[in-house]
Amino acid sequence: MTDNGKIKLYGFNNLTKNLSFSFYKLHYLVKANQHPEYKKYINQRYSAEKLTSLLSDICHAIGGNILNVAQQDYQPQGASVTLMISEEAEPLSYPESLVAHLDKSHICVHTYPDDNIQNNIAIFRADIELSTCGVISPLKVLNYLIEEFDADVIDIDYRVRGMTRDIHGNKQFNDQVVENISDYLANDIKSYYQLANNNLVRSNVFVTKLCRNNTKFETNIFAFIANELSNKLLSEIDVRISEERRQLYTTQ
Mark whether 133 is an active-site residue. Answer: yes
Q: What is the model's pLDDT at position 199? A: 92
Mark whether 211 is an active-site residue. Answer: no
The pLDDT mean for the chain works out to 84
Catalytic residue among 56, 86, 105, 137: 105
Rounded mean pLDDT of 46-75? Answer: 87
Mark whether 97 is an active-site residue. Answer: no
**All domains in the chain, ordered by first residue:** 16-250 (3.60.90.10)
Catalytic residue among 22, 35, 47, 110: 110
In this predicted structure, the answer to whether residue 99 has a pLDDT above a threshold of 60 is: no
Q: What is the model's pLDDT at position 231? A: 94
3-class DSSP string for the chain: CCCCCECCECCCCCCEEEEEEEEEEEEECCCHHHHHHHHHHHHHHCCHHHHHHHHHHHHHHCCEEEEEEEEEECCCCCEEEEEEEEECCCCCCCCCCCCECCCCEEEEEEEECCCCCECCEEEEEEEEEEEEECCCCHHHHHHHHHHHHCCCEEEEEEEEECCEEECCCCEECCCECCCCHHHHCCHHHHHHEEEEECCEHHHCEEEEEEEECCCCHHHHECCCCCCCCCHHHHHHHHHHHHHHHHHHHHCC
The pLDDT confidence band at residue 57, using thresholds 50, 70 and 90, is confident
Catalytic residue among 59, 108, 133, 211: 133
The pLDDT confidence band at residue 8, using thresholds 50, 70 and 90, is low
More confident residue, 10 or 145: 145
Rounded-to-integer distance, Cα 228 and Cα 221, Å: 11
This prediction has a pTM of 0.83
More confident residue, 162 or 88: 162
pLDDT in tens, 146-191: 998 999 999 999 998 887 777 777 887 777 778 899 999 999 999 9
